[in-house]
Chain A
């Protein structure tokens, strides 16, 4: 009897699995949905779900005369390479997904990109590592602008405008933290300032007072927050201000403004300069922000619209390519989009010179200062210069 049951088990599983409707198109999400990077992961999942909602509200995506309902399948990688790889394998082999919003972190990205490339899956990554885009990863796209593009012009602007000479910073002690720390030090020194205090800490740490005591003992003018998760950045701002540091604090790095203000409080967040990927005054962004915040009840992370824009482009590329299954054709159609109108405004593709892959989204970015809890844009930037 038991043997019979065992034999029947796989059959039962197949039967009980919901029959995939021929007219549904699955979009995968592979991002960090728990732990300190959740704000970023939610921004990606939200983009996918809102994009799906918008398309489904119009009856679905029409490709080659057939209507497809968009379905979102999300997995949590816990910001770990091993979990990301498991999730990517599930997306590829169990779910049969061809398009993935993700991976998020640099280490997870490097772990999963070989798998997605081999299975011709189009991915939209948030990984800032230069290795996430290359001629080898033919299907890897990056909608967000990485720090090695935006940090140099922003740091130059900050050093010139604020006149800071002695810089201090704390960075997480792992591959990405070490890399960001080194890159930051180089950029500040190139701009004519000196990094006098650089400390590393384990990611789980929440009490930074001993380390900040060390940093402040070096009499710094400016504190740099780059490389820290949104929550950690907020705690650093709070504890720095509690210890009496009144100078400017710089966030060269992924958007964390909402969390910094939430954790540190409005008063402490005053005089924090942040990288601002989007123009909050634009109506399209305001509309998107409202949709996101109504649905998820959490503040919008500014990375989210970049993924939304990438999905808008992806859907258009499918329409033009006339297929949802042949990712080679979709990729070609996607790369052919020029001055395409998205939630971010008109965008293009760039990156050939830097990474030998023209799959980096090209959009302007901004430097803002936090005033009364809200970022106020101070300068508009291109990879060459902020003004």
Chain B
């Protein structure tokens, strides 16, 4: 393998991982921005999305596009329920809310072990084969992830910028009280925001399931990475989550390919510490007054 192939391979790997981090981090940061909740159960919704894709795609053989839609809708609806039942009572109590989501995470993960067992399950790839361009070969399954994630983000961005609900959500993020005075139903916005957030996690899970396999424990790593990404990009900032996610994926891939995984992990966390020291509000976040 020559140097340029290695670079191209590393860039592609970085983009795949980066888009997953991006989808995870957008949802994570969205809920924080709007509801001031750090959702520790975010990774479990990723896992549920992966299982949803496993059942619909690998077992019932539904076309993959519909599997994504089903994952987003069912897990999103579940998210809205969780918000109503468990998160809402802690609306003005960030610490208790955080601990409640930690509880939700433990409950979901262990329920998944009870229901589906701990053994990992493999899923067939959505597309098989490789794309060969000159000396480069890219597995098609990974290219599909990048394209789909980009599409999902485009839809999400359009929703946030151009629809009434999207605008209302941004208004609530800026100032919930003022939004309320303007006639925005904050009590409807919260569950919608939470549902969209976990639906994005579920979509990430469903997209990555064929690549990384499915088990009740797959949510842990993406959750941790989402944390790192939002620190990089700025807690509460959606553009920050996009930039941070892609950046983290690329950094991780290049450093791991060039220097090995241990150095890559060290560098990643050094970067986080550096950001916290120099720019604690993140690359694109807003400095708190």
Q: Mark B1-38, 1 if CB is under 8 A from A, else 0.
A: 10000100110010011000000000000000000000
Question: Are A213 and B221 interface neighbours, CB within 8 A?
Answer: no
Q: Is B44 an interface residue (CB 8 A)?
A: no
Which of the segments A234-242, A283-291, A374-382 contacts the partner chain?
A234-242
Q: Is B113 an interface residue (CB 8 A)?
A: yes
Question: Are B261 and A202 interface neighbours, CB within 8 A?
Answer: yes
Which of the segments B149-157, B250-258, B281-289 contacts the partner chain?
B250-258
Q: Is A199 an interface residue (CB 8 A)?
A: yes
Known contacts A173-B262, A259-B119, A265-B124; is A206 also within 8 Å of B212 by CB? Answer: yes
Known contacts A34-B113, A204-B220, A217-B1; is A210 also within 8 Å of B261 by CB? Answer: yes
Q: Mark A263-306, 1 if CB is under 8 A from B, else 0.
A: 11100000000000000000000000000000011110000000
CB-contact partner of B213 in A38, A210, A235, under 8 A:
A235
Min Cβ gap B20→A in Å is: 9
Question: Are B221 and A205 interface neighbours, CB within 8 A?
Answer: yes
Q: Is B90 an interface residue (CB 8 A)?
A: no
Min Cβ gap B114→A in Å is: 11
Min Cβ gap B116→A in Å is: 10
Q: Which residues of A contact B264 (CB under 8 A)?
A: 210
B115-143 interface with A by 8 A CB criterion: 117-122, 124, 130, 137, 139, 141
Q: Which residues of A contact B117 (CB under 8 A)?
A: 296-298
Q: Is B177 an interface residue (CB 8 A)?
A: no
Q: Which residues of A contact B9 (CB under 8 A)?
A: 209, 213
Query: Quick one: which of B16, B257, B261 has the most chain A CB within 10 A?
Result: B261
Question: Are B119 and A39 interface neighbours, CB within 8 A?
Answer: yes
Question: Are A42 and B265 interface neighbours, CB within 8 A?
Answer: no
Min Cβ gap B252→A in Å is: 7
The answer for the CA separation of A33 and B122 in the assembled complex, in Å, is 20
Question: Are B141 and A262 interface neighbours, CB within 8 A?
Answer: no
For the A-B complex, the count of residue pairs with Cβ-Cβ distances under 8 Å equals: 101
Q: Is B103 an interface residue (CB 8 A)?
A: no
Q: Is B215 an interface residue (CB 8 A)?
A: yes
Min Cβ gap A196→B in Å is: 14
Q: Which residue of B lies closest to A206 (CB)?
A: B212
Question: Are A199 and B261 interface neighbours, CB within 8 A?
Answer: yes
Q: Which residues of B contact A346 (CB under 8 A)?
A: none
Question: Are B261 and A205 interface neighbours, CB within 8 A?
Answer: yes
The answer for the CA separation of A199 and B137 in the assembled complex, in Å, is 23
Question: Are B13 and A299 interface neighbours, CB within 8 A?
Answer: no
Q: Which residue of A lies closest to B214 (CB)?
A: A263
Q: Is B89 an interface residue (CB 8 A)?
A: no
Question: Are B256 and A210 interface neighbours, CB within 8 A?
Answer: yes
Number of interface residues of B (CB under 8 A): 37
CB-contact partner of A210 in B130, B141, B224, B253, under 8 A:
B253
CB-contact partner of A244 in B137, B213, B217, B252, under 8 A:
B137
The answer for the CA separation of A242 and B16 in the assembled complex, in Å, is 15
Min Cβ gap A378→B in Å is: 25
Q: Is B218 an interface residue (CB 8 A)?
A: yes
Q: Is B260 an interface residue (CB 8 A)?
A: yes
Question: Are A262 and B119 interface neighbours, CB within 8 A?
Answer: yes
The answer for the CA separation of A383 and B9 in the assembled complex, in Å, is 43
Q: Is A211 an interface residue (CB 8 A)?
A: yes
Question: Are B261 and A201 interface neighbours, CB within 8 A?
Answer: yes
Q: Which residues of A contact B220 (CB under 8 A)?
A: 204
The answer for the CA separation of A40 and B84 in the assembled complex, in Å, is 39
Question: Are B256 and A263 interface neighbours, CB within 8 A?
Answer: no
Question: Are A211 and B120 interface neighbours, CB within 8 A?
Answer: no
Q: Mark B213-240, 1 if CB is under 8 A from A, else 0.
A: 1010110110010000000000000000
The answer for the CA separation of A204 and B265 in the assembled complex, in Å, is 11
Known contacts A211-B260, A211-B261, A217-B1; is A259 also within 8 Å of B137 by CB? Answer: no
Question: Are B224 and A231 interface neighbours, CB within 8 A?
Answer: no
The answer for the CA separation of A169 and B143 in the assembled complex, in Å, is 27
The answer for the CA separation of A33 and B118 in the assembled complex, in Å, is 8
Q: Which residue of B lies closest to A204 (CB)?
A: B221
CB-contact partner of B257 in A210, A234, A264, under 8 A:
A210
Q: Is A216 an interface residue (CB 8 A)?
A: yes
Known contacts A213-B13, A217-B1, A235-B213; is A199 also within 8 Å of B120 by CB? Answer: no
B69-111 interface with A by 8 A CB criterion: 110
Q: Which residues of A contact B1 (CB under 8 A)?
A: 213, 216-217
A22-38 interface with B by 8 A CB criterion: 33-36, 38
Known contacts A217-B1, A231-B213, A234-B120; is A199 also within 8 Å of B260 by CB? Answer: yes
Q: Which residues of B contact A230 (CB under 8 A)?
A: 120
Q: Which residue of A lies closest to B258 (CB)?
A: A214
The answer for the CA separation of A97 and B220 in the assembled complex, in Å, is 34
The answer for the CA separation of A298 and B121 in the assembled complex, in Å, is 11
Question: Are B6 and A217 interface neighbours, CB within 8 A?
Answer: yes
Q: Which residues of B contact A243 (CB under 8 A)?
A: 139
CB-contact partner of A42 in B118, B120, B139, B215, under 8 A:
B118
Q: Which residue of A lies closest to B257 (CB)?
A: A210
Q: Which residues of B contact A259 (CB under 8 A)?
A: 119-120
Min Cβ gap B135→A in Å is: 13
Knowing that A263-B121, A263-B213 touch, tell me 10 more A-B residue pairs with CB under 8 angstroms. Answer: A35-B118, A173-B261, A201-B261, A202-B261, A205-B221, A210-B13, A210-B253, A211-B261, A235-B213, A297-B117
Name 25 interchain pairs, CB-CB below 8 A, sorted by A: A38-B118, A199-B261, A202-B261, A206-B218, A209-B253, A210-B13, A211-B256, A211-B257, A211-B261, A213-B6, A214-B260, A216-B1, A230-B120, A231-B120, A231-B215, A234-B120, A235-B213, A238-B122, A238-B213, A242-B141, A243-B139, A259-B120, A262-B122, A296-B117, A298-B118
The 7 closest A-B pairs by CB, nearest first: A210-B256, A38-B118, A201-B261, A210-B257, A231-B120, A217-B1, A263-B122
